Amino acid sequence: MGRPGLNRSAVIAAAADLADELGFDAVTISVLARHLGVRSPTLYSHISGATDLRTAVTAYVLDELADATSTAIAAGEGRDLLVAYADAIRDFARRSSGRYDATTRQRVPPASDPAAEIPDSVTAAITAGRRNADLALTVVRSYGIPETNETYAVRLMSSLIHGYITLELAGTFAHSDPPSETTWPEVLDDLDRTLTLIATAERH
Amino acid sequence: MGRPGLNRSAVIAAAADLADELGFDAVTISVLARHLGVRSPTLYSHISGATDLRTAVTAYVLDELADATSTAIAAGEGRDLLVAYADAIRDFARRSSGRYDATTRQRVPPASDPAAEIPDSVTAAITAGRRNADLALTVVRSYGIPETNETYAVRLMSSLIHGYITLELAGTFAHSDPPSETTWPEVLDDLDRTLTLIATAERH
DNA sequence: CTAGGTTTCCTACAACCGTTAGGCAATTCG
DNA sequence: CGAATTGCCTAACGGTTGTAGGAAACCTAG
């Protein structure tokens, strides 16, 4: 039925590649259409607009990231697990910075109109986001952190990893010694120490 | 000489306010012109284009942020200084999220063409960025951290603070207990502990 | 008070992007 | 082979960036 050609998945995957090539800001209908060798209106058969496209890319990339970290933390626990997890995220961000940008640059819609339909891409992004949150929880739990402090530990770990990667990618660390490559393991050392402390010591 | 009216500073200040009102993405020639009650081409007398405008806003806001943290850390040392510093940044980000976005969303130009002129707004942003970096260094130094580890400590502290604020602003912490307000002081506690450790313990 | 110069702002225009509407052609199924 | 389905197209509209050139307002000098 009908003739074969592009489909939604192919369009979104191409958009993710485009983000890596030219930056997430270049993920736009016209640029993407040019890259795919079609005219702009063609894409509206597969996506419902520019925001839908970008949100769909975010969801797609969040799933890729969850896949990457998921396989990285397949084995090990405690410090090894933390390093594997953090390295997986950082490697992902360095290998494809446009994709990583997509995971952070997408604002959650203000949920303004309760009558408004929630697009598929939004729920997909939320689901994929939760998947990543669950993986972070797995890492924290391997430290034996009591349930009361799980959320706190996830926030601490995520903030530090995300913050370091963001600043590194923005070039903030590029103009001072030592190289960012050197300080990264030290950051993980200190994070490991703190997570261990949270697991063992009683907190007020 | 000439008639009075807008000038570059007024335009950029208005753009910063616009970022807080409608988000940094809304900082665009046409929207800004509408807000100022003039036509779009008018703004080209004061700025050289959309990118120049956004970069100038970044520089302007980075200076505001440096002002805020600078007065916050006027007194105190160690833990008190850290809390004052971090709270100043977080308060700034929460009070004006569009402005804070401007500090992070601006990519450094790839410095592609060595023959290309570097616009004033870019050098201003770099200078303002360095001002903020120096303030971070002041906080770290008050812990008595040896010079060898200063850069590392700045990176650790900046990553954690920036990461937490970014995720908090993105709403990542909004759907889990305890509230973000509660975990923030704990983050600073752990950061204080780690900075103290870096200052006293010998590091490999 | 008038003339010049300077600066601000405007209209007009070209190019590009997002988006909608409607039509042609290719493919697949009965 | 015919028909439904689907993919892509052209045409067109509104909005945005950016350029060119002109008109009005203001300050200063004579």
Both structure tokens of B111 = 């410095």
Nearest to A176 by CA among B11, B152, B195: B152
Stated in angstroms, how far is A11 CA from C24 C1'?
A: 23
Both structure tokens of A58 = 């975010």
Contact (Cβ atoms closer than 8 angstroms) between residue A59 and residue A15: no
Both structure tokens of A11 = 């369009």
- Cis bond upstream, residue B178 (ω within 30): yes
pTM, rounded to two decimals: 0.92
Q: For residues B192 and B147, what is the distance between their CA atoms, to the nearest angstrom?
A: 18
Position A140 pLDDT exceeds 60: yes
Residue A44 or B1, more confident: A44
What mean pLDDT do residues B157-174 have? 96
Q: Taking every pair of C-alpha atoms in chain B, what is the biggest distance, in angstroms?
A: 65
Phi–psi pair at B62, nearest 5 degrees: -60, -35
Position B109 pLDDT exceeds 80: no
Position B113 scores a pLDDT of: 53
Averaged pLDDT of chain A: 91
Instruction: Determine the residue of chain A that is closest to B195 in CA distance.
Output: A190
What mean pLDDT do residues A79-101 have? 97
Binning pLDDT at 50, 70 and 90, where does residue A1 land?
low
**Residue B177 contacts A where some CB pair is shorter than 8 Å:** yes
Nearest to A201 by CA among A157, A146, A151: A146
Chain B residues with CB-CB distance to A198 below 8 A: 190
Position A197 pLDDT exceeds 90: yes
Averaged pLDDT of chain B: 90
Segment B37-91, tens digit of pLDDT = 999 999 998 999 899 999 999 999 999 999 999 999 998 888 999 999 999 999 9
CB neighbours of residue B120 within 10 Å: 14
Segment B119-150, tens digit of pLDDT = 888 888 999 999 999 999 999 999 999 999 99
* The residue count for chain A: 204
Q: For residues A55 and A162, what is the distance between their CA atoms, to the nearest angstrom?
A: 20
Exposed, middle or buried, B179 (CB in 10 Å: 0-12/13-18/19+)? Answer: exposed
Binning pLDDT at 50, 70 and 90, where does residue B188 land?
very high
Q: Is there a contact between B160 and A155 if contact means CB atoms under 8 Å apart? A: no
Stated in angstroms, how far is A98 CA from D9 C1'?
A: 31
Q: Is there a contact between B178 and A107 if contact means CB atoms under 8 Å apart? A: no
Q: Is there a contact between B158 and A172 if contact means CB atoms under 8 Å apart? A: yes
Residue A117 or B101, more confident: B101
- How many angstroms separate the Cα of A78 from the Cα of each of A69, A143, A180, A189, A193? 15, 5, 24, 12, 10
